[in-house]
Amino acid sequence: MVHERTYIMVKPDGVERGLVGEIIKRFENKGFQLIALELKTPTRQLLEQHYADLSSKPFFGGLMNYMTSGPVVAMVWSGKGVVKSGRVLLGETNPLASLPGTIRGDFCIDVGRNLCHGSDSVENAEKEIALWFPHGVISHTRVMEKLIYE
Ligand code: GDP
Ligand code: MG
């Protein structure tokens, strides 16, 4: 079965605070499949492309400084409804508006230090996957697929 894909990123604060495993665990526990992962220090140019739609916002400079402050963990996850469900697992953009049980609701406070990124639509997910993983992702059918999907 070919599933939807989303781009999920642990931002520099999440890596620095040692929350990579915790964030991965939540996607694994749900049943989604990890199909790409890279720890990397993104260039400002890559981040300007990634956040191009926010370039006119007053917080853009701060966002660039935050996102270039250290390595990030770039990932692609696959599964039924993974774009929308991934956003639910992350929580609201503003962590103070995020419910407990979500990543942002459980682990952070400020919108400018909100630990993680998740694509907001299937179309944007495919664009972000192409941007962060230009060489592609793995293709692997899990043995446990029948335990996750009806
Ligand atoms: P997301 O899709 O939930 O990550 O939110 P957006 O796409 O709207 O914004 C991208 C990122 O920019 C957010 O995750 C925040 O890190 C940052 N951001 C968004 N809005 C604000 C804001 O009002 N102030 C600051 N400082 N950062 C913001
Ligand atoms: Mg966004």
CA of 16 to the centre of ligand 1 (A): 19
Strand partners, 92: none
The minimum-distance atom of ligand 1 relative to the CA of 117 is 4
Render pLDDT for 9-37 as a digit per residue (tens, 0 to 9): 999 999 999 999 999 999 999 999 999 99
Positions of E strands within 12-150: 33-40, 72-78, 116-118
Joined together, the tokens standing for residue 141 give: 């059918």
Looking from the CA of 106 toward its CB, the CA atoms found within 13 Å total 13
Query: Which residue ranges have their beta carbon within 6 Å of ligand 1?
Result: 54, 59, 62-63, 93, 111-112, 114, 117, 120
| pLDDT of res. 2 | 86
Q: Are 11 and 66 in contact (CB under 8 A)?
A: yes
For a ligand 1 pocket test, name from 57, 87, 93 the mutation site with the most ligand atoms within 8 angstroms of its C-beta: 93
What is the chain's mean pLDDT, rounded?
A: 98
- The position carrying tokens 């935050």 is 66
Q: Are 48 and 60 in contact (CB under 8 A)?
A: no
CA angle 105, 107, 110 (to 5 degrees): 75
Strand partners, 38: 74
> Whole-model pTM?
0.98
Nearest CA to ligand 1 atom 12: 63
- The residue type found at 47 is L
The minimum-distance atom of ligand 1 relative to the CA of 66 is 16
Q: Is 11 annotated as a binding residue?
A: yes
3 counts as catalytic: no
Q: Is 107 annotated as a binding residue?
A: no
As a whole number of angstroms, the distance between CA 72 and CA 37 comes to 10
Q: Is 94 annotated as a binding residue?
A: no
pLDDT at 44 over 90: yes
Residue 19: how many CB atoms within 10 A of its CB?
A: 21
Q: What is the ipTM of this complex?
A: 0.98
For 72-84, the DSSP string reads EEEEEEESTTHHH
